[in-house]
Chain A
Amino acid sequence: MLALALALAAWACGHGNAHELDLSAGWVPAADAPAAGTKLHTPPPPFSEGIFPCSECHEPDMPVNTKRRELSMAHQEIVLKHDAEHRWCLDCHDATDRDSLHLASGEKVPFEESYRLCGQCHGDKYRDWRAGVHGRRSGQWDGEKEYLLCVHCHNSHAPKFAPIKPLPPPPKPERTP
């Protein structure tokens, strides 16, 4: 009997401290991510110096060579490690409008909205990203947030993250002998 009383007392004490969630207003199910295609606030694409607009070099009257080949006149630095077996430049870059990307449907997409292009194959990541759960976000948890484009973190031509150097470990605690 005493043991039971003690256990009850302990239980009561334990619960006295907790701030129970007040669900009196009812629990609303989690909201879905903003709809696909929603224009989201992102910083401008991270073009390398002097690369954009592409039409500066790719003039409209330049003949288009659609053949998969080893590039020799420009862009040799690009190593395609993104399903290279099946992909080629013009699957994403538009041959008729060089300053634009295109979806599989042919619909043109500006570089500012490249996430729509990535989202065609990576639908689950695209959905998580719209909800703020895939990728890095900054700003206000209760308001204006800044999203990053997929290409701010992933190199579109080789999207897998390269390993990085960790910051130094904490010192091990000193032990007295």
Chain B
Amino acid sequence: MNAPDTTRRDFLCTLAGCAAALAGACGDVTHTEFFRSHFKELTPEDLDGILKKIERECETKYGKDVDVKNTPAREGVQFAYALDISRCVGCRRCVYACVAENNQSRDPVVQWIRVLEMDKEKGIDFEHANPYYDAETVPRPGHTYLPVACQHCENPPCVKTCPVGATWKEPDGIVVIDYDWCIGCRCCMSACPYGARRFNWKEPSLPADEMNPNLHVLGNRPRPKGVVEKCTWCVHRVRDGRYPACVEVCPVGARKFGNLLDPSSEIRYVLDKKRVFVLKNELATHPRFYYFYGL
């Protein structure tokens, strides 16, 4: 895991001369940012400096007080998620709660959750799934709905494929991205079998009055153009003990979240008592996102 970083560092150092010459072309990337260490190797002082800098930038850009946290994973916690597909009605409340909570770009539209409409006759069949359905009311007769976002795989192909180590699985199971380290190559997007990752093709737009100021450095802080993003299970909320936003907003209560290691958690009850499946089981990505039939 360390080898590519060293190579990258050496490479950058060799380029230092050229970098100086090209400084104008580098935009507002500072020397410290350009030469900083990998997120996992940052000293507490460096990390603190980075958080402060993001706070300053957000405050200037959005004109309000923001708090950028780096709440680490908790000992003895392994997160997992469960979704009751016998209840989901496809209303997309979760999609928009997620956009608001996690500061996704409004234009171009970036949404981490995609709700797929499927034909009851065909069962779970991605070939015929339709994410663009619109209707006066849902559920539409003869259809079921399957919301998909990052599955926080136990064995995540996106992590394996990233050439610079900009995305990794945290000790509590959340797969995160360091937006400052991402080079925008989109290898992870092609590796993800669930289409869970989104790329910022253009400068994201986020109205200041809609910007959520409760931020996590590896989560919902505003992203720049040219980086990949995806669901983090609301890392800024769940590491403070709260439920992800989609869990609380779902009008039919289809969404469940908790600690796999806690025998009294909702998630363990689901695994113990319900019929559960994961998407694309045959790929051995081992999703931490379980779909179940609650009826």
Using CB atoms and an 8 Å cutoff, list the residues of chain A in contact with chain B.
13-21, 28-31, 33, 128, 131-143, 153, 161, 163-172
Contacts and interface: CB of A to CB of B under 8 A. Distances in A.
A36 to B, nearest CB: 15
A141 B241 contact: yes
B96 A161 contact: no
A167 B96 contact: yes
B259 interface: yes
Given A31-B263, A141-B242, A141-B259, 16 more contacts: A18-B154, A19-B154, A30-B268, A133-B84, A133-B274, A134-B294, A136-B248, A136-B253, A139-B242, A161-B89, A163-B138, A164-B89, A166-B91, A166-B133, A170-B95, A170-B114
Nearest to B82: A133
A165 to B, nearest CB: 6
Q: Lowest 3 A-B CB distances belong to which pairs?
A: A30-B272, A136-B253, A163-B137
Nearest to A20: B154
A11 to B, nearest CB: 11
Contacts of A140: 241-243
Contacts of B96: 167
B251 A133 contact: no
Interface string B185-218: 0000000000000000000000000000000000
A56 B208 CA distance: 50
Interface stretch (B155-163, B176-184, B219-227): B155-163
B184 to A, nearest CB: 18
B269 interface: yes
B271 to A, nearest CB: 7
A136 B242 contact: no
Interface string B139-165: 100000000000000111001100000
Contacts of B95: 167, 170
A165 B138 CA distance: 6
